[in-house]
Amino acid sequence: MNDSGTSRHVVVVGASLAGTRTVQNLRSLGFAGTITLIGAEDELPYDRPPLSKDLLRSDWSTDAVEANRLLSRDELEALDLDLRLGVAATALDTDARRVSLADGTAVAYDVLVIATGAAARPSPWRPASGVLQLRTLAESRAIAERLALGEPVVVVGGGFIGTEIAAAAVDFGCEVTVVDPVAEPMTRIVGPHIASSLVDLHEQRGATTRFGVGVTDIRGEAGALTVVLSDGSELAASTAVVGIGSIPSTEWLAGSGLTLENGVGTDAYLRARGASDVYAIGDVARWPHPERGMDVRAEHWTNASDQARYVAAAITHSASAPFESSEYVWSDQYDWKIHTVGFRTPDGESIVVGDLDADGRVAVIHADGDGNACGAVTVNWIRALNQIRRLLASGGTAQSIADQLQAPAAVVAAPARKEA
């Protein structure tokens, strides 16, 4: 069915990557009905990955900020939207098919797309000032202002965002300490081989790592903070940036009848469980992953973008096949470009191709319990990444993929430890 949809009203809640890409795709697929886009932030839609990378390090000129918009004002106007920025959705009534907004108004829908993403997991430590977190443009700017002082910074959380902030802080000339209760914090995402190299990288570039030890308190105020660690030691800092994960933005859906458990539960077609004509996409959605055999909530740019495209097509043409994620994630750590595709399983082996120290690049191919390739991580090796993506799509063993990469397979590494 190809439906220009003039009689239908699509309401999209959340005006960031997933929401914006949904409305763009709807229009490019010929949807001619009314589209309402609702966003809590009083900002034209912007991209988040640069908030911990290029933009964080930038001069924050108007040009730098505007270049980070997901679309220009002209492009936005051409979409002919009923645009409601700066107003949050506060409730959903799926029987009446109505979304209530913080300004006291309500919007009726024929089709609803929930794209409210996630928020930074709140810091448990809240001194009067000096503790910052990162999810929004304003928060990135606030962190940049503190880093520009060149004073000591403690980053709590050694995940992608925390370590990207740490790398930026080193570039700003700050004395930086990264704290995380996990000994090699990135292991779950990139596997033990690269996680271990990342710890070395931070140390080599001048950050101090306190991994395997947690934070129990942060006292004081901006410029004079004391970060107390679980081993009893204390770190003095001017600023602390707390990056301890995120939580899906579902508060407004309480009582809606949707399945809310670490996000909005959907079926394999991204249709929210518990209502009809309601989809959930992006960081807020938790959907059944066919290969992993479990429900997954992915917090990655490409996933949000893929799901927006899929749902726009489902609304205009109806979906014939379940959603499939391209499972692609990247991170910049200093001058390292890290890319992951697919996934890794705790019981599978990983094959390392290349040598970071000798060649400055490496690829690690993950196998599932049967030896079949299910994912990979590359560092500074785009050609291998592209090759692996093609080979993963056509199936085969991890060893066969390793053999096809030009560099010889060097090490066969089983998982080194049980991970946290």
Ligand X SMILES: Cc1cc2nc3c(=O)[nH]c(=O)nc-3n(C[C@H](O)[C@H](O)[C@H](O)COP(=O)(O)OP(=O)(O)OC[C@H]3O[C@@H](n4cnc5c(N)ncnc54)[C@H](O)[C@@H]3O)c2cc1C
**Contact residues: ligand X, CB under 6 A:** 13-19, 38-41, 48-49, 51-52, 88-89, 115-118, 134-135, 161, 249, 252, 282-283, 299-302, 304, 329-331
Between 34 and 140, whose beta carbon lies closer to ligand X?
140
- Rounded to a whole number of angstroms, the minimum distance from the CB of residue 75 to ligand X is 17
Q: Is 133 in contact with 125 (CB distance < 8 Å)?
A: no
Neighbours of 125 (CB within 10 A): 17
State the alpha helices, DSSP H only, in 29-115: 54-57, 62-67, 73-78
Between 22 and 187, whose beta carbon lies closer to ligand X?
22
Helix (H, G, I), strand (E, B) or coil at 367: strand
Between 98 and 219, whose beta carbon lies closer to ligand X?
98
- Rounded to a whole number of angstroms, the minimum distance from the CB of residue 33 to ligand X is 21
* Tokens, residue 401: 């993929």
Place of tokens 């306190």: 210
Q: Is 330 in contact with 339 (CB distance < 8 Å)?
A: yes
- Cα 126 to Cα 244: distance, rounded to the nearest angstrom: 14
Between 43 and 175, whose beta carbon lies closer to ligand X?
43
- Cα 25 to Cα 18: distance, rounded to the nearest angstrom: 10
- Rounded to a whole number of angstroms, the minimum distance from the CB of residue 329 to ligand X is 4
- Rounded to a whole number of angstroms, the minimum distance from the CB of residue 159 to ligand X is 10
Helix (H) or strand (E) holding 295: strand 294-296
Between 39 and 192, whose beta carbon lies closer to ligand X?
39
- Rounded to a whole number of angstroms, the minimum distance from the CB of residue 87 to ligand X is 7
Quick one: which of 280, 279, 299, 296 has its CA closest to 288? 296
Place of tokens 């003039």: 6
Between 35 and 38, whose beta carbon lies closer to ligand X?
38
Fill in the amino acid letter for 168.
Answer: A
* Tokens, residue 351: 């094959």
Between 50 and 354, whose beta carbon lies closer to ligand X?
50
- Rounded to a whole number of angstroms, the minimum distance from the CB of residue 60 to ligand X is 15
- Rounded to a whole number of angstroms, the minimum distance from the CB of residue 184 to ligand X is 20
